[in-house]
Structure 1
């Protein structure tokens, strides 16, 4: 685990105090950590959960002694990382880390109980039933609130990617209103070695406001706009050979079907397949062969890459008036837009769908620690951004 800063240690202590204050009550009590991608939410949770389980398993005088606690994340690739961490820590077990649906179904069958739940990427919790994934309730967080005494979760509404897990801060706060709760908001960017001006530019872009790139991108950050996707790929391969953990990723908008076959992204001389389903215990980005694949939000969300080469696909164009346009009919991730009964207004639905696409861009743009390379399918957008 990465070491904590002084402020992060203080926050872990604050959450632990909140937890011990409420763990012997009937519950539930909720502590929410808000923060954009790269603000250190996951490292805080990892340290917090390690301390929770150490107290539960080794400290007989602690209020947490012999409590049953779980760490949940609704993302199979991130789950692999946490289970790898568990193998290196003396008081963590791999079974402590679960997908939410798995735990919800175990709780419903009386196979386990839960005192404290720590939820990473809570914006990925299902907010409607999903029979394909064996969740038959109407909201995963609501189901977990009925079972636990304390819930600690991290949340970023700009990383919501699918209608079936559609959340906003307002919806979350409305759900939590009846319960004792506290929250903090993290703002400092830890992942990207980029300037505040560039992070602001990314945030503006992913809310539909396109400006020219700032002059100050950060002394130790490499930002390039490419006019050729194959040239960008070759540059990423070179970076991967130099420092590792460098990958090509893309937004949706290219052929993609979950049928077990390979589907390719083609842009001029660039021709690579989408990421394949990863059956190993190693995260996608750490597999050497994935340098010859294109990552998606489903393999890259929550991960640090050293350099990321991002393809902005056909759904994103720039109008002659330099306004960003989002074309829903060009989005090929059919899973993203499953119908929701609670959003009936047509204009609201269109706005939500467009924001989900921009959220995916936000997730992908913030993967790179040391650099971001961009190729846009739309020629006008490429030129506006300064492709050479």
Structure 2
């Protein structure tokens, strides 16, 4: 007996003929809860909703002057749907369609459901994923869910369910925007407390029509919230607003986000100096602790002075905070004094003065949302860097979050790359303990950092580095990561930071700190220490799923090792027991090439080889096999002593691929005589209409520069045999 489908998606024209079409659907006639998507593929706009009375809802939408311009409707129904499920699926569709970036939603951003209900995770999340795949097939959605989860458009989307704390903060902001007795609102919160999300949410809120809001999510505060929204719309029917973002890299990212949100545009996101161009009803300042004063500004001195001149302000005494106050009727500052990282940042004393002003209201955000380690992890990092932990404190342990200390730079690099393959958005970040050599036009050096004979390069761009193609092979800094979310962060504590075992305190070695504008003009060593500790704390809170740490200084490494679990380098080979093995079904053979006396074809006939579990992501195949890769010649991709899976080579181009080859003349000191794993490169000699290999180069991919290419020419080519093509590290 055939099982009915979990759900159905039916497409209709969104016009007057829809009413008759709906009469033929039992889900509509029997008032079942359904989810629907209105869309127009020409203007690329959409609206998502749910209802138990699809007939009445569609008639209402057809009478709406905005929604009736859409041309199609996809109706999603299921025997398993209940009201809780459709609210949840509606909410997820809004979040993911917005994050997908293909359609701009005309939905308001208030009232997205986020409540628990029976089988929410066990059943309905899988149903949603299947619905999403179906929507991709019909062109409503473009990207897979895991891709969207890592996108900035999804992370900084205004279509978020606010926490109780964020809702409370939002209510405070709205009340004070209506109260002429207040001009400034300061929202204080540490890293991970959702300040940027609240800023963008508020921006979208004030640029959305009232009829597109769903106020039900606000529960007991619903009436109060509705009244506040209506009053704000009366006071600011067409608000002149700006989102000021001091950091250029993060500003570029948020401009891209605003460009893809209905009712917003990229010009609403500006740098502090652009505030001089106009006056605004409301200015929201994200990361306001990074507003600048006239200290260590470098090339920015002139631009700063011009703004001061235009605003009739004393360039020697004013700062960017003064600019905001002068150009705005109301200003909202999202602030964290512990993320101030250099002398050019506006002083804490200036914000304290603003807080004491009778025209200022202050609200606090305490719960963190980014790190899966929660508030416990945030507190642990703070105590670790302030040396408030002692021997009686336990080593950090969390089932939800990875905090790991590495003794080897190669290991942390390889693990971050592995996490990036698995999860995306995993990057190396370091303190500014090495000069930036490669950014100089006349530089002949292709690296900036050298640790344990491993050479690394600083970020090649300052703009949106986290998402740039080269970021996986580079090292970022605080300036390219502040404000961004990562899944895993690999942090290199440089030589500018050490631990004094006599005082049990962290110390800074100023001469090893190479951010010139970050230390120039600082006289008090404690002030520099505060800035540098703020930098490391900030980047230690970038990772959503985990933070990996490598420490250059031995004393600091010893201190950290008391409280951070160490990376275990020894991996057990997952060899299956004989009674567990189903050859080429749940397992593949693992060969020991080090003991191979003859060629590879002879080795394959051995009947007593061991078997290793086949990764779930791979289909069983007789072409798959495994072997251990020993040495550091491929450690950019393959860590030393890794078990790797290969696919037997059966023909086709090998150029640019990592291959396992056999050659009688190869003397590979790592892998053993006769075999090597390298990247394959070839040059062909074309004569008339035929071709032959001119040279074949087997290239190491190593952080260690002692490894050289193996080049084969002429007669040497005849003895070369490609055994397999690299698939993955197991």
Q: What is the TM-score when the length of structure 1 is the normalising length?
A: 0.87
Partner of 2:425: 245
Aligned ranges 1:1-388 → 2 under 5 Å? 1=157, 2-22=160-180, 29-54=183-208, 62-104=234-276, 106=277, 112-128=278-294, 130=297, 132-133=299-300, 134-136=303-305, 137=315, 138-168=318-348, 170-207=349-386, 209=388, 211=390, 214-256=394-436, 259-260=440-441, 263-278=447-462, 283-321=464-502, 322-339=504-521, 346=523, 349-386=524-561, 387=566
Q: Provide the rounded CA distance (Å) in 1 between the counterparts of 2:341 and 2:387.
A: 16
The alpha-carbon deviation at position 97 of structure 1 amounts to 0.5
Distance 1:259 1:205 in 2: 36
- 1:214–1:84: structure 2 CA closer, same or farther, 3 Å change rule? farther
Query: What is the CA distance between 1:272 and its match in structure 2?
Result: 1.1
Distance 1:55 1:143, change over 3 A: farther
Q: Which has the larger strand fraction?
A: 2
CA contact (8 A) 1:201 1:214 kept: no
* Counterpart-to-counterpart distance in 2, 1:148 and 1:244: 40
Partner Cα distance (2:460, 2:453) in 1 = 21
Cα offset, 1:131, TM superposition: 6.5
Q: 3-state SS of the aligned residue for 1:165?
A: coil
Q: What is the rounded CA distance, in whole Å, between the counterparts of 2:394 and 2:338 in structure 1?
A: 22
* Consecutive unaligned residues in structure 2, runs of 5 or more: 1-156, 213-229, 306-314, 568-730
Q: In the TM superposition, what whole-angstrom CA distance separates every residue of 1:254-289 from its partner, at most 9, and x where no partner exists?
A: 12255355551111143210011245xxx2112232
Q: 1:208 to 1:101 in 2, by over 3 A?
A: farther
What's the CA shift for 1:195?
Answer: 4.8
Check whether the contact 1:273–1:293 (CA below 8 A) recurs between aligned residues. Answer: yes
Alpha-carbon RMSD: 2.4
Larger relative contact order (Cα-Cα within 8 Å, sequence gap ≥ 6): 1
Deviations 1:35-91 (A, max 9, x none): 1111111111110111123369x9895211123110001111211222122122111
1:53 match: secondary structure: coil
Where does residue 19 of structure 2 map in the other structure? none
Q: Using the alignment, how far apart are the partners of 2:363 and 2:334 within structure 1?
A: 10
Distance of aligned partners of 1:64 and 1:195 in 2 relative to their CA distance in 1, 3 Å threshold = closer
- Measure, in 2, the Cα distance between the counterparts of 1:38 and 1:302: 9
> Does the aligned pair in 1 maintain the 2:355–2:361 contact within 8 Å?
no
CA contact (8 A) 2:185 2:361 kept: yes
Kindly tell me: are residues 382 and 167 of structure 1, through their superposed partners in 2, closer, same or farther at Cα, counting changes over 3 Å? Answer: same
Deviation at 1:209, TM superposition (A): 4.3
1:307-365 CA-to-partner distances (Å, cap 9, x unmatched) read: 0000000011122334321111211110112337xxxxx4xx32211111111111111
Distance of 1:179 and 1:336 partners within structure 2 = 33
SS at match of 1:369: strand
SS in 1 for 2:192: coil
Greater share of residues in helix: 1
Q: Check the 8 A contact 1:209/1:323 in 2, yes or no.
A: no
Query: Any idea what SS the aligned residue of 1:171 has?
Result: helix
* CA-to-aligned-CA distance 1:82-107 (integer Å, 9 cap, x gap): 21221221111110100011223x2x
Secondary structure in 2 matching 1:128 = coil
Q: CA deviation at 1:176?
A: 4.6
Higher mean C-alpha deviation, range 186-195 or range 365-374? 186-195
Q: Given that residues 310 and 364 in structure 1 are in contact (C-alpha distance below 8 angstroms), is that contact kept between their aligned partners in structure 2?
A: yes
If you compute each CA radius of gyration, which structure gives the higher value, 1 or 2?
A: 2
State the alpha-carbon separation in 1 of the partners of residues 162 and 375 from structure 2: 21
Distance 1:208 1:117 in 2: 38
Conserved? CA contact 1:33–1:153, under 8 Å = yes
